[in-house]
Amino acid sequence: MADTQQQLLLYEALELRAEYDARMKTLKDCLPEGQQPRDRFAFAHADESRSRPSPEFDVAAAREQLRTLETKRRKLNSAIQQVNFQHQLEIGGETVMLNEALELRKGLNTQLGELYAQVMKAAYQRVIYKEDRDIVEPSDLSYTQCVQRLDETRVTFREVNRKIRAAAYEVRVAFRDEPQ
């Protein structure tokens, strides 16, 4: 059995990856090549004002720290993906891998937006005012059926999301964060 002392739970690994991303963004933004003009008129006086690193900021050390974080993130992401392809979930009476469940959730989320738009469209008829009469164009979609499909998809999305979240607290990722 694997040593669980050196493993993170999936939710911990996801949090750590987000932390790595935030640290990397900070370092990239501090590097000279990451400096953006802070003033919308900076292009007018680009030659007049320049910046240089403060005495406390070591550019070479920041670059090294960035490379280290990028390597750690790559290793962590690989370990997360490995778990996603190995762990199985039971969803709707069917066994699927965690990565498939994540894709299913993503698809359901997109479908929810589309179904919502259909419900909004089905809720109203189009009325064209022409001369002294109204021309009413009924909706192509049944409001009741659209609402029913939306509600069913919401329930499925909730079930899939709960299974994925539960897995995040059960599954261990073979990665151990080294001290900074």
For 123-132, which contacts have Cβ atoms below 8 Å and span 24 or more sequence positions?
none
The secondary structure of residue 145, as a DSSP letter, is H
Mean pLDDT is lowest, of 17-21, 43-47, 71-75, 163-167, for 43-47
Helix (H) or strand (E) holding 132: none
What is the predicted pLDDT for the residue at 55? 87
Stronger pLDDT, 47 or 174, i.e. the higher one: 174
The single-letter DSSP state of residue 32 is G
- pLDDT band with cut points at 50, 70 and 90 for residue 2: very low
| Whole-angstrom distance, CA of residue 111 vs CA of residue 85 | 24
Specify the amino acid at residue 5. Answer: Q
Measured CA distances, 153 to 40, 104, 118, 124, 164 (Å): 46, 11, 13, 22, 16
Instruction: Round to whole Å and give the CA distance between 51 and 86.
Output: 50
* pLDDT-derived band at 74, boundaries 50, 70, 90: very high
Residue 27 has pLDDT above 70, yes or no: yes
What letter would DSSP give residue 174?
S
Structure tokens at 107: 């698809």
Pairing of strands 172-173, 8-9: antiparallel
How high is the pLDDT of residue 1?
Answer: 40
123 pLDDT higher than 50: yes
- Average the pLDDT over 136-153 and give the result: 90
- Domain segments of the chain as ranges: 4-173
For 33-73, the DSSP string reads GG---SSTTTTTTTTT------TT--HHHHHHHHHHHHHHH
pTM of the model: 0.77
Q: What pLDDT is recorded for position 53? A: 84
Give tens-digit pLDDT for 32-67: 887 766 555 555 555 556 778 888 998 999 999 999
